[in-house]
Each structure stands twice: as structure tokens, then as C-alpha cells.
Amino acid sequence: MTRPVDSGVILLARLALAVLFLWGGVMKLIGYAGFVGYLQSKGVPFVQIAAPIATAVEVLGGIFLVVGFKIRALGLIMAIYTIATAVLGHDFWNITDAAMQRDTIIHFWKNVGIAGGFLLLCVTGAGRFSIDGARAPRSGLSSL
């Protein structure tokens, strides 16, 4: 069980992560052909499967983060997804231009940091202010 202040901080963390993924997912939907072209330029295999999966992960993952649904499992899925996008989309080891490589390194490690936040959600759960929190059994004197 978490204290209300802990649940408030967890809610803020979920919302901060959700904004990034909801925005990215919606932009992928709006410019879907461009997104598919980007994945092809990066050499992503099975682009016709990968593009809709990536878009769905970002949009649905963002929505689930906002409402706090299945957060422990979602945290693990999103951590894996974020590391995969770091490796496939921010492959600084393949860039020879120094300025571009520096920028890509920053984006790579940003993704690693975001994945760390998702792993923390695996441990903490969604907190009280969530669907998961509303569905959790309560213990204590109120049940007597």
C-alpha cells in the first residue's frame, strides 16, 4: 500500500511518461507513411508488422499510463520497447558525423533513462490514483 503522496508522485510520473508516448503515437498515426519510410531507412525488419505494432504500443501504452491500467506489466513492456527503439532508432555507433553522433548518443541514453522509469513502475505499480489502485483489495481497519 502506498501513501497518498506516493500515489500522487507515481501519477505525475505516469503522466510525464504518457505525454511522450501519446504524442509520439499520434504523430506516427498522422504521418504514417513517413514513419514507415523512416523504419525502412533504418533497416528495421518486417516494417509492415513493426510499424502498426510500434504505433499501437505508443498510443495504447500512453492511454494505459494515464488511467493506470496493468501498470506493472506495461512498465516491463514499455521498458523493452524503449530499449529496442534506442538500439534501432538511435544507433550512434553507425554515425560518422561528430555532431550528429553526439546528438544521437544523447537520444540513446535518454531512452535508457526512460526505460529505467518504466522499470520503476514495474516495482511500484500504478499507485492509488489508477484503475489498478481502485481494483486492489484494501486491508486495514476499514475491512472490519
Q: What is the mean pLDDT of residues 110-132?
A: 95
Instruction: Please tell me the predicted confidence (pLDDT) of residue 50.
Output: 94
| Count, residues in the chain | 144
Q: pLDDT of 88-111, one tens digit each?
A: 889 999 899 999 999 999 999 999
Per-residue model confidence (pLDDT) at position 114: 97
pLDDT above 80 for 1: no
User: In Å, what is the CA distance from 100 to each residue of 24, 36, 39, 91, 135?
Assistant: 21, 22, 18, 11, 47
- Alpha helices, DSSP H, located in 31-141: 32-41, 47-67, 71-89, 98-124, 131-135
Q: Return the residue matching grid coordinates 511522450.
A: 20
Helix, strand, or coil (residue 70): coil
Give 140's pLDDT tier (boundaries 50, 70, 90): low
Q: Using DSSP, state whether 86 is helix, strand or coil.
A: helix
pLDDT at 2: 61
The pLDDT-based confidence of 78 (bands split at 50, 70, 90) is very high
pLDDT of residue 37: 96
Strand, helix or coil at 95? coil
pTM tops 0.85: yes
Summarize pLDDT for 20-41 with one digit per residue, the tens.
999 999 999 999 999 999 999 9
